[in-house]
């Protein structure tokens, strides 16, 4: 139905509709954001993890917090999953959640904010006291058309003079967000001079150690999250905490207390002799960072299972494939939320990039693999075996990846993270959600096949 109306009306008309709904939602629920300190976090990657880190810091300071993210909702001690496949939910649900936070006695609301929600005015009526920018990389060009319009949509979060503005100084787009005034602006970074910095990073199994620098003060921090990208997320949360008047010791306590965020570099351990990891990475930048974090730790082979979402930016599909080809030893291209698009077409577009990513085979002749039911592609070189496959059924792709795995290998399944549903065609020109969880499939298969 939504697709039908979008074909009939211009985006400007659709945005007016969303604005009207946002106004009505605020009137119905009584503008609850006015009674909360609202923290908005925007950026291509890292929003969900940063939101969880900020919440942990606030809770360490004794604050009662509400939160809305891609994967979950929280009101005080009550937490539940977000299975709607929406990061910034509809105005009516968002205003309802904010009112429930007020009723529950929450002082703070931490909200993941998307560029599309900002462009469509779905956040109208919410005065963000604190705003944060994590990064800007290739995504959502199907909607925005180009990176400039994508960035400008995110800038709208900073346009209303917030009390606190937090900006990633390492991101090339940082200056565009700096131009907006705020009562106080705090920058963070690793590579560029910033108010909050990290130095002497040391990667260890399951986390990262680094020295946190704030002005003349420094402190050692053992972050229970792996990867330099998570250090950036922790720095963002630190900057927000400092800007809200929370002392450094409390901030460090909060960061240290964070459990692994579901679906973000999440290890699935059923006693097997290799490592299985689930991650939400679905943009080129996020996927590359995950590969760069995992690859140095792999003592065997890296086996990658990935796809691309339907109804989304098609230009990133071959880029995702090329990254898999570059970093992984074995690649399985599979189905991933096709919505009402042809799943095989999406798989083909991702697969197009795979051979380009591996220079040693990139210029070889392509030959259709014979006697192979999953329509794999074979690249011939003296003594070289097939190293990547198209497997449309996602569960089957994961199963084949596990069958390939040997001791000390790493099987990495990306794209869906903690999601428990998949968006597929309903056969009537639209789509609907069906149950599917990468983690649950991994657990089931690891037990079923008794992979040790």
pLDDT of residue 382: 32
pLDDT of residue 16: 86
For tokens 């697709």, the residue is 3
Q: pLDDT tier at 230 (50, 70, 90 boundaries)? A: very high
Q: Are 57 and 67 in contact (CB under 8 A)?
A: no
Range of the domain at 52: 2-192+241-248
Same structural domain, 334 and 417: yes
Same structural domain, 160 and 295: no
In DSSP terms, 74 is beta-bridged to 67, 79
Q: Are 266 and 278 in contact (CB under 8 A)?
A: yes
CATH classification of the domain holding 55: 3.40.1190.10
CATH classification of the domain holding 426: 3.90.190.20
pLDDT of residue 376: 44
pLDDT digits (tens, 9 = 90+) for 140-178: 677 778 989 999 999 999 999 999 999 999 999 999 999
Maximum Cα interatomic distance, the chain, rounded to a whole number of Å: 71
pLDDT of residue 98: 98
Residue 208 lies in a domain: no
Residue 293 lies in a domain: yes
More confident residue, 87 or 119: 119
Same structural domain, 186 and 285: no
**What number of CA atoms fall less than 13 Å from residue 25's CA on the CB side?**
24
Please state whether beta strands 196-204 and 184-189 pair in parallel, antiparallel, or not at all (unpaired): parallel
**Beta-carbon neighbour count of residue 165 at 10 Å?**
25
Same structural domain, 406 and 276: yes
Residue 218 has pLDDT above 80, yes or no: yes
pLDDT of residue 438: 96
Same structural domain, 298 and 406: yes
Residue 384 lies in a domain: yes
Burial 60-92, CB ≥16 within 10 A → b, else e: bbeeebbbbbbbbbbbeeeeeebeebbbbbbbb
Residue 203 lies in a domain: no
Same structural domain, 184 and 328: no
Residue 229 lies in a domain: no
Same structural domain, 313 and 410: yes
Most confident by average pLDDT, 84-98, 177-191, 428-442: 177-191
Same structural domain, 11 and 112: yes
- As given in the structure block, the two tokens for residue 268 are 């699935």
- Number of folded domains that form the chain: 2
- E-state strands within 119-256: 130-133, 164-168, 184-189, 196-204, 207-214, 217-223
pLDDT of residue 112: 96
pLDDT digits (tens, 9 = 90+) for 343-392: 999 999 999 999 988 865 443 434 434 334 444 444 333 334 689 999 99
pLDDT of residue 367: 41
pLDDT of residue 15: 78
pLDDT of residue 65: 98
Residue 4 has pLDDT above 60, yes or no: no
Same structural domain, 295 and 439: yes
- Domain boundary, last residue among 183, 217, 248: 248
**What number of CA atoms fall less than 13 Å from residue 105's CA on the CB side?**
6
Residue 439 has pLDDT above 90, yes or no: yes
Residue 174 lies in a domain: yes
Residue 328 has pLDDT above 90, yes or no: yes
pLDDT of residue 34: 97
């Amino acid at each position: 139905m939504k697709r039908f109306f979008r074909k009939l009306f211009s985006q400007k008309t659709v945005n007016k509709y969303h604005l009207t709904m946002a106004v009505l939602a605020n009137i119905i629920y009584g503008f609850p954001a006015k009674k909360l300190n609202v923290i908005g976090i925007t950026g291509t990657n890292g929003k969900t993890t940063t939101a969880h880190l900020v919440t942990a810091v606030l809770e360490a300071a004794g604050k009662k917090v509400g939160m809305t993210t891609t994967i979950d909702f929280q009101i005080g001690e009550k937490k539940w999953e977000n299975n709607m496949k929406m990061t910034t939910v509809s105005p009516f649900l968002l205003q309802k959640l904010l009112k429930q936070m007020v009723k529950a006695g929450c002082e703070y609301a931490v909200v993941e904010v998307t560029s599309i929600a900002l462009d469509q005015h779905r956040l109208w009526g919410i005065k963000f006291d604190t705003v944060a920018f994590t990064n800007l990389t290739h995504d959502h060009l199907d909607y925005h058309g180009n990176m400039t319009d994508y960035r400008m949509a995110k800038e709208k979060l900073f346009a209303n003079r917030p009390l606190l503005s937090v900006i990633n100084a390492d991101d090339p787009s940082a200056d565009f967000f700096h131009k907006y005034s705020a009562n106080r602006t705090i920058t963070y970074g690793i590579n560029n001079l910033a108010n909050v910095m990290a130095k002497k990073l040391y990667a260890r199994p399951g986390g990262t150690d680094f020295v946190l620098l704030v002005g003349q003060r420094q402190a050692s921090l053992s972050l229970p999250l792996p990867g330099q990208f998570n250090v950036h997320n922790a720095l963002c949360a630190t900057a927000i905490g400092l800007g809200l008047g929370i002392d450094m010791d409390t901030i460090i306590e909060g960061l240290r207390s964070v459990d692994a965020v579901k679906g973000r570099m999440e290890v699935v351990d059923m006693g097997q002799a290799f490592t299985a990891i689930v991650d939400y990475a679905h943009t080129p930048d996020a996927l590359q960072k995950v590969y760069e974090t995992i690859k140095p730790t792999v003592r065997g082979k890296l086996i990658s299972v990935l796809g691309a979402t339907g109804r989304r930016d098609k230009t990133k599909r071959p880029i995702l494939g090329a990254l898999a080809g570059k970093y992984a030893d074995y690649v399985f291209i599979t189905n991933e939320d096709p919505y009402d698009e042809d799943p095989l077409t999406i798989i083909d577009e991702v697969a197009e990039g795979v051979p380009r990513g591996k220079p040693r085979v990139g210029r070889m002749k392509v030959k259709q693999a014979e006697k192979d039911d999953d329509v794999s592609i074979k690249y011939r070189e003296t003594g070289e075996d097939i190293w990547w496959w198209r497997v449309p059924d996602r569960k089957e792709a994961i199963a084949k990846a596990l069958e390939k795995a040997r001791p000390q290998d790493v099987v990495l399944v990306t794209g869906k993270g903690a999601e428990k549903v998949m968006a597929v065609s309903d056969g009537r020109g639209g789509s609907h959600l069906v149950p599917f969880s990468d983690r649950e499939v991994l657990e089931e298969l690891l037990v079923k096949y008794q992979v040790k």
